[in-house]
Chains A and B, each alone.
Chain A
Amino acid sequence: MLKVAQPSPGEGDDRLLAEAAAGDAAAFGCLVRQHEAMVFSLARRFLGDDSAAEDLAQEVFLELHQHLADLQSAAHVKFWLRRVTANRCIDRRRRRSWQFERTVDVPREPAIAPVTPDFLLETRVRGLVDRLPARARIVVVLRYQEDLDPAEIAVLLGIPVNTVKSHLRRSLASLRSQLRVEGR
């Protein structure tokens, strides 16, 4: 069980945690609502579809429910959820890696117009992030989805901060070069 001291945020959130830990299902429901988008989005980024992401997110929250008494503050809950979700995603991805669908032939069409609508650019960026190695990907997702700085990511994943920076540097260089090749 994680025992990482975190700064205490608003008193209301801490009270919610205390009530949930005391067995108040409604308070636990509020906790779930507070963090569902974060947990679901992390899982979605790794597993690729809503259904698998919801399964994993539900498992994470059920595990949270079992460990509520061990968590000391609302910030600690957030930290715990991010850490457990990240680890579960990496584990699940390793188990599933052999299942990933291979591709079929599609004729490449020439790129003519330079304008790429946001939807397509974002789709491409997400697709390239999805192809990063698992550890690099979780670092990138925590950095740009969760807006954590490298030091926070290092603590979360239990790896040296220089390793985080190295993952970020290499991933950005890789993404940049691939987008450039594709005529971004």
Chain B
Amino acid sequence: MSLEDDLRKALRRKAPPEGFAERVVARVVLPPAAGSLARRRQGRSPLVRALAVAAALVITAAAASYYRHQVVQLDGERAARELRIALQIASEKLALVERRVNRDDDTKASTREVPR
């Protein structure tokens, strides 16, 4: 494989941490000033209010369903959480490896397979 192909592979895009877009949007829309929030509420049409109520009902129903799901399948959730933590620890340690391998030339360690 050519160096250019290696570069394309090595430099491929990486997704940001989960919830990045939500955090950006939150910084854009929050915190609204109390006064302007009140004005916005007053200015809402009946249709918007009905939609808001419907959305609240949907969210409430979804939350109830989610709660039931959680209670019934607690073991599975716990296993998934433990797996995430395990993978997170593994990936953090690999990031540490990357940092150690990439230190300046005069101080770096072996990066080759070494038969034992």
- The answer to whether A and B touch directly, with their CB atoms under 8 angstroms apart, is yes
Residues of A within 8 A of B107 (CB): 103-106
Q: Are B24 and A37 in contact (CB under 8 A)?
A: no
B51-85 contacts to A, CB under 8 A, are none
In the assembled complex, A1 has its CB within 8 A of some CB on chain B:
no
Q: Are B13 and A144 in contact (CB under 8 A)?
A: no
Q: Are A115 and B113 in contact (CB under 8 A)?
A: yes
In whole Å, how far is B28's beta carbon from the nearest beta carbon of chain A? 5
Q: Are B24 and A58 in contact (CB under 8 A)?
A: yes
Q: Are B114 and A109 in contact (CB under 8 A)?
A: yes
Q: Are A112 and B115 in contact (CB under 8 A)?
A: yes
Q: Are A54 and B21 in contact (CB under 8 A)?
A: no
Residues of B within 8 A of A176 (CB): 3
Q: In whole angstroms, what is the CA distance A109 to B109 when docked?
A: 6
Contact with A172, one of B3, B22, B25, B98 (Cβ below 8 angstroms): B3
In whole Å, how far is B33's beta carbon from the nearest beta carbon of chain A? 15
Q: Are B102 and A117 in contact (CB under 8 A)?
A: no
* Stretch binding the partner chain, chosen from A2-10, A82-90, A124-132: A124-132
Q: In whole angstroms, what is the CA distance A105 to B100 when docked?
A: 11
In whole Å, how far is B30's beta carbon from the nearest beta carbon of chain A? 10
In the assembled complex, B110 has its CB within 8 A of some CB on chain A:
yes
In the assembled complex, B39 has its CB within 8 A of some CB on chain A:
no
B99-116 contacts to A, CB under 8 A, are 100-115
Q: Are B101 and A120 in contact (CB under 8 A)?
A: yes
Chain B, residues 19-42, CB within 8 Å of chain A (1/0): the string is: 011111101110000000000000
Tell which of A38, A105, A113, A145 has the most Cβ of chain B within 10 Å.
A145
CB-based closest 6 A-B pairs: A127-B102, A109-B110, A40-B16, A125-B10, A122-B10, A144-B7
17 new A-B pairs (CB below 8 Å) besides A37-B16, A61-B24?
Answer: A28-B25, A40-B20, A44-B14, A103-B106, A106-B103, A106-B107, A107-B109, A108-B109, A113-B113, A113-B114, A113-B115, A122-B6, A140-B11, A144-B4, A144-B7, A145-B12, A175-B3
Q: List 26 A-B contacts (CB under 8 A).
A: A32-B20, A32-B21, A32-B25, A36-B21, A37-B16, A40-B14, A40-B15, A41-B12, A54-B16, A104-B103, A104-B107, A109-B109, A112-B112, A113-B114, A113-B115, A123-B98, A125-B7, A125-B11, A127-B102, A140-B11, A144-B8, A145-B12, A145-B13, A147-B8, A172-B3, A182-B111
